Homo-oligomer: A and B are copies of this chain.
Amino acid sequence: MESKFSINYHLTGGETGPEGEMPLALLAARIIEIATLHADSLGVGYKAMISDDQAWVLSRLSIEMERYPKIDEDYSIATWVETFNRRFSERNFEIFDAEGHTIGYARSMWAAINLKTRGFGSLDVVSAISDVVIDRACPIEKTPRLTDPETADKSLAYTFTYRDLDFNRHVNSVAYIRLLLDAWPLDFHDRYRAKRIDVAYIHEARFGDTVELRCCDDGGATSAVILKPGDEPIPVTRMKISWEKR
């Protein structure tokens, strides 16, 4: 059982964004990927959960970067489990450049969903995770309690399409991040990069759901919520991005 697990990657041209760097959405995808692969390698992944009619769900994600890998650069991601209990498991990540220097960290919080009741499940079936918990905190702050922006500087409608779906037949966790980043034009991204993103996953969205993205800029940060409209709008995802000048 490998308590710490890491993968080497190479940022290919086709994966690189218009600023010559790794897009934040791809980084989020890699982080979720290595979490999945580590869990699989420990026998506590998808197969272990589905045998108990459960699935892993990502509840919170925070990423904070000093810098992003550049085109054609090698990088690596290491992951370890910091806490584990019946309801939640916290998994951390460290991102390195080719020379082994740390360029960022991420935190994530995972829970189980009971696929029969669609409610919270139990992590008892994967309790072997306890054996790989490492008492090493992640040096970035935990995901804060995210609230809905009081006012909306921006309000955009979006309907989830085929490209947004994952194998659970719900909207992919990364699709919400892509949607948020799309709220700014290219010249904004050319001037600012995301220093940190916090995401709280609250309700699942599905194919064909039309949602409203509401954003409020507050100095160097943006608070956002994705809502399913209705008499009582349902929050799908709350997010916060801190920007820094390039």
A interface residue numbers (CB < 8 A to B): 10, 12-18, 20, 23, 25, 29, 32-33, 36-37, 40, 46, 71-72, 161-163, 165-167, 169, 172-174, 178, 181-182, 184-186, 189, 207-208
**Total copies of this chain within the assembly:** 2
Contacts of A37 in B (CB 8 A): 10, 12
| 21 A-B pairs with C-beta separation under 8 A | A12-B37, A13-B36, A14-B29, A14-B32, A14-B172, A14-B174, A15-B29, A15-B33, A16-B166, A17-B167, A71-B167, A161-B182, A162-B181, A162-B184, A162-B185, A162-B186, A162-B189, A163-B181, A185-B208, A186-B207, A186-B208
Say yes or no: B17 contacts A165, CB within 8 Å.
Answer: yes
Say yes or no: A182 contacts B163, CB within 8 Å.
Answer: yes
| Top 4 A-B residue pairs of the complex, sorted by shortest distance between their CB atoms | A16-B167, A161-B182, A186-B207, A18-B165
Say yes or no: B181 contacts A40, CB within 8 Å.
Answer: no
Say yes or no: A14 contacts B40, CB within 8 Å.
Answer: no
A58: nearest chain-B partner, CB-CB = B14
Given contacts A13-B166, A14-B172, A18-B207, 11 further A-B contacts (CB under 8 A): A13-B33, A13-B46, A14-B32, A16-B166, A17-B167, A18-B162, A18-B169, A20-B167, A46-B71, A46-B72, A163-B182
